[in-house]
Amino acid sequence: MNLYEQRKDRKSKTRRRRQRHRDKGLCLDCTSKALFGRRFCSVHLAKARTKAKQEYDWRIANGVCVSCGIPKEEKRSETKCIACASKAASKERRRREMQHTSPHALYAGIRVRLESERAA
Ligand SMILES: [Zn+2]
Ligand SMILES: [Zn+2]
């Protein structure tokens, strides 16, 4: 097996492990139980957050869109490029529309489903 194949093999193993952990509700980075509704345990969730924050700060400092990572339009003071900002705006609009259609009932439905899956 050459180096490239070894790397590919390791990657697919990681992917399989992560898939297995996700199915069982375990943290993707260790064998602890993931927090409810999350993909990581409290330790790795904090680590993932720190990493995301560092990435975010780096993008701000380098004038890169925090959402897609491409350089923003010149002199743009927003944190996102024009494309991402308009995407986020339409998502936000949809979210507001959803709230009109009884969000509590929707959320309760998802919660019950998740909990019954977990019990099974
Ligand atoms: Zn973990
Ligand atoms: Zn963008």
| 3-state class (DSSP) for residue 71 | strand
pLDDT over threshold 70, residue 119:
no
Residue-wise pLDDT for 89-104, tens only, equals 999 999 988 876 665 6
Helices within 76-102 (DSSP H only): 82-100
Ligand nearest to the Cα of 79, by number: 2
Confidence of residue 112 (pLDDT cuts 50, 70, 90): low
- Chain-centre distance of CA 77, in angstroms? 25
DSSP state of 34: P
- Residue 42 CA to ligand 1 center (angstroms) comes to 7
- Residue 29 CA to ligand 1 center (angstroms) comes to 5
Backbone φ and ψ of 33, nearest 5°: -70, 135
Predicted TM-score (pTM) of this structure: 0.55
Ligand nearest to the Cα of 29, by number: 1
Neighbours of ion ligand 1 (CB under 5 A): 27, 29-30, 32, 41, 44
Backbone φ and ψ of 49, nearest 5°: -65, -45
Residue 107 pLDDT: 66
Ligand nearest to the Cα of 26, by number: 1
Residue-wise pLDDT for 17-71, tens only, equals 999 999 999 999 999 999 999 999 999 999 999 999 999 999 999 999 999 999 9
Backbone φ and ψ of 71, nearest 5°: -60, 135
pLDDT over threshold 90, residue 4:
no
Question: What is the distance between the alpha carbons of residues 4 and 49, in angstroms, rounded to a whole number?
Answer: 31
